[in-house]
Amino acid sequence: MTDEKTSEDEAKDDAQESAPDDGASPEAIARRVAALGEEDQSEKLARDEERKLAERRAVGKKKTKKGGLEVAASKKLSKIGTRAEPKRTLAVAADADPLIEKTAKLSEWAKENQKTVQIVGGLLAAALLGIAGFLYFEHKHETEASVLLTKAVQDERARIGEPPKDDAEDKAPVDPSPMFKTYELRREAALAKYREVETRFPKTGAAILARLAEGSLLLDKHEPDPAAAAFTEVKGSPLAAADQEVKGRALEGLGFAYELKAQITPAEAPKFLDEAAKAYKELENTVDIRGFKELAIYHQARVAQNRGEKDKAKELLIGLKERLSKTEDNTSNVPQGPSFPYLKEVAMDRLREIDPSAAPSKTQQTSPGGNPSLSPAQIRKMIEDAQKHQKSGGAPPGGDRH
């Protein structure tokens, strides 16, 4: 028995010498158990579990051990995963136009706030419809005012006389234009229509023009105060600020109104003539339209003559003669106003009245062909004389009898 134990001990010693010194190996565990003596069942189970655990650790170490190539590949993959995004060498649309990026962000915002976008869109559509409706009705309003204003002008320029009888034998084509029996009836009809334009379509261009025409008709009725009020209102209107001719007509009418007041109230004539001169001076200085300046100078000369200031009137008329004698420059940027074909004629008549030597007589005025120009009265007299001589069988005046 002793000999067997001795041989087993020698064998164990040899195994210990040949096996590596691993405290976790099964053999080392078995030696420790043997050294401790006899073990119970729980110790056996613990020893078996410890042995299995040691085997699994040994196998895991072998499996996780990687070769050099595998380690290098893993390092490269990890570097690729953490590498920064390469720089672009070609420009894309978002780089070239920031508006595209902003539009994309706006589109995303619109999707997220779809309800808000719908409300704003609805309000915008309603506003556009409102503006379109306002412009439509405004245009319609102006059109109706213009139609009524045209009818008022037709009444003001209507014919005077008796309308043709229906039972006339030779029925001529009927003239559709209005006709009135008297000038007073025509004037009242026109006034009524002008005032209707002002009442129905206030603050429109047609209403301002109607007010201007009303002032002229009130002068015709010898009512200077309401006429002056009408011309003053037109002078300060937006239309007068935009249209120089409207302003010029208003200033001229205002001067006429003050002159009429001077005639009606002789005791206050100097005061009203001063006001008329101021209106005409303003017409000359503020209305830059060819024709109105010359007309304003002539009116100032009239007022000066009526106040007894003949020298001032003569000076104004001589300056006007020089202006009217100049050749019209068609390349001028000054707007061309209405034509005043008789302005030079009446101005020269007034200048001859003040100083006959300051203006040529009518017999000295020559036509473009070199023949003396005749006044309309002289032409009418020549025609009447010729008709008389034809009836009597005689030769025309200045002709030779055969």
- Could you tell me what percent of the chain has a pLDDT over 70? 55
Half-sphere exposure of 279 (CA within 13 A, CB side): 25
| H/E segment holding residue 179 | strand 179-180
Looking at residues 209-218, what average pLDDT do you find?
A: 95
Which one has a higher pLDDT value, 397 or 167? 167
pLDDT band (50, 70, 90) for residue 371: very low
Half-sphere exposure of 42 (CA within 13 A, CB side): 0
Q: Which of 170-179, 307-316, 349-358 is most confident?
A: 307-316
Residue 180, helix vs strand vs coil: strand
CA dihedral 319, 320, 321, 327 (to 10 degrees): 110
E strands, 40-108, in order: none
**Per mean pLDDT, which range of 16-25, 58-67, 124-133, 174-183 is the poorest?**
16-25
| Angstrom distances, CA of residue 47 to CA of 32, 58, 378 | 10, 17, 158
Half-sphere exposure of 341 (CA within 13 A, CB side): 0
Looking at residues 264-269, what average pLDDT do you find?
A: 94
Residue 225, helix vs strand vs coil: helix
* Cα dihedral sign, 36-37-39-45: positive
E strands, 178-249, in order: 179-180
pLDDT value at residue 200: 92
Instruction: Give the span between the Cα atoms of 22 and 52, in whole angstroms.
Output: 15
Fold of 222-326+335-361: 1.25.40
CB-count exposure of residue 166 (10 Å: 0-12, 13-18, 19+): exposed
* C-alpha closest to that of 314 among 303, 325, 324, 301: 301
Write down the mean pLDDT value for the chain: 74
pLDDT value at residue 370: 38
Half-sphere exposure of 4 (CA within 13 A, CB side): 1
- Share of the chain residues as helix, strand and coil, in percent rounded to the nearest 5: 70, 0, 25
Cβ neighbours around 318 below 10 Å, total: 17
Instruction: Give the span between the Cα atoms of 68 and 116, in whole angstroms.
Output: 63
Q: Which of 146-160, 171-185, 294-308 is most confident?
A: 294-308
**Per mean pLDDT, which range of 23-32, 255-264, 297-306, 341-350 is the poorest?**
23-32
Cβ–Cβ under 8 Å, residues 339 and 295: no
pLDDT value at residue 68: 59
Instruction: Give the span between the Cα atoms of 162 and 7, in whole angstroms.
Output: 170
**Per mean pLDDT, which range of 44-48, 66-70, 181-185, 284-288 is the poorest?**
66-70
pLDDT value at residue 357: 86
Instruction: Give the span between the Cα atoms of 102 and 92, in whole angstroms.
Output: 15
Residue 368 has pLDDT above 50, yes or no: no
Looking at residues 159-168, what average pLDDT do you find?
A: 73
Instruction: Give the span between the Cα atoms of 302 and 252, in whole angstroms.
Output: 13
- Token pair belonging to 45: 């189970």
Instruction: Give the span between the Cα atoms of 157 and 160, in whole angstroms.
Output: 9
**pLDDT tens profile 77-121:** 565 555 555 555 544 544 555 666 777 777 777 677 776 766 766
Q: Which residue has the tokens 């050099």?
A: 68
* C-alpha closest to that of 177 among 159, 204, 164, 195: 159
Instruction: Give the span between the Cα atoms of 263 and 302, in whole angstroms.
Output: 14
Cβ–Cβ under 8 Å, residues 202 and 215: no
Instruction: Give the span between the Cα atoms of 396 and 367, in whole angstroms.
Output: 23
Cβ–Cβ under 8 Å, residues 302 and 350: yes
Cβ–Cβ under 8 Å, residues 355 and 315: no
